[in-house]
Amino acid sequence: MQLAGSESQFIVKDGTLAGVALGYSFCDEHDMGYDAILDGLGVGVNPGLTGNDKLLVTAGHESVRVHRFGDSVALSFLPDYEDQEAYQVVRSYVDSSDTTENSLMAWWDQGGFVVMSKGRGGEFLLKMADGLKDNAVCFGLADGSAFHQQLYPVFVMKEYARDLWQNRLN
């Protein structure tokens, strides 16, 4: 799993944290795509769904974990790991990183992700974890910068998805 060095950030709607963008780096892990994440979270598996609902996270709940390290909160989706193994993976990222208040750090590859923050950002990650387990989070894609045209994963609370993506979901 590789740290996303660019574009990982909170998505804000009218001053409220609404989602997370996992961002990207110039690395093989991010060039391999995110299909396994989508499959693991059950995104797009029900062809009868429309609008925001067709992008809902509907599975993988047992692999969504919250980890607390002092004042840092990490949210992980690591379906190939048992609880203790997932903890060790996340711990290694926390130990090698220094996140600041309300900033977002994200690591991901084709099979999973870890996001970490402190303060208000950490509180939002707790809400996001509950949303992932309750089918209240939508998956989307964000455009890269002018230097890197690759799309990268975004997760947004369902209540904000319509406003943020408007007609892109229909």
pLDDT by residue (tens digit) across 40-55?
Answer: 888 876 666 666 667 7
How many structural domains is the chain composed of?
1
Of 142, 110, 109, 115, give the one whose Cα is nearest residue 128. 115
For the full predicted model, state whether its pTM sits above 0.75: yes
pLDDT digits (tens, 9 = 90+) for 115-142: 999 999 999 999 999 999 998 898 877 7
Find the distance separating the first CA and the last CA of the chain, reported in whole Å.
32
Q: Is residue 170 part of a domain?
A: no
Q: Is residue 78 part of a domain?
A: yes
Q: Which own/partner contact pairs does 54-63 have at CB distance under 8 Å and 24+ positions apart? A: 54/169, 55/138, 55/139, 55/140, 55/161, 55/169, 56/135, 56/136, 56/137, 56/138, 56/139, 56/158, 57/131, 57/132, 57/135, 57/137, 57/138, 57/139, 57/155, 58/135, 60/132, 61/132, 61/133, 63/112
Strands (E) across 50-136 are located at 64-69, 72-77, 105-109, 112-118
Confidence of residue 170 (pLDDT cuts 50, 70, 90): very low
pLDDT at 90: 93
Q: Is residue 57 part of a domain?
A: yes
Domain coverage including residue 100: 2-165
Between CA 131 and CA 23 the distance in angstroms is 20
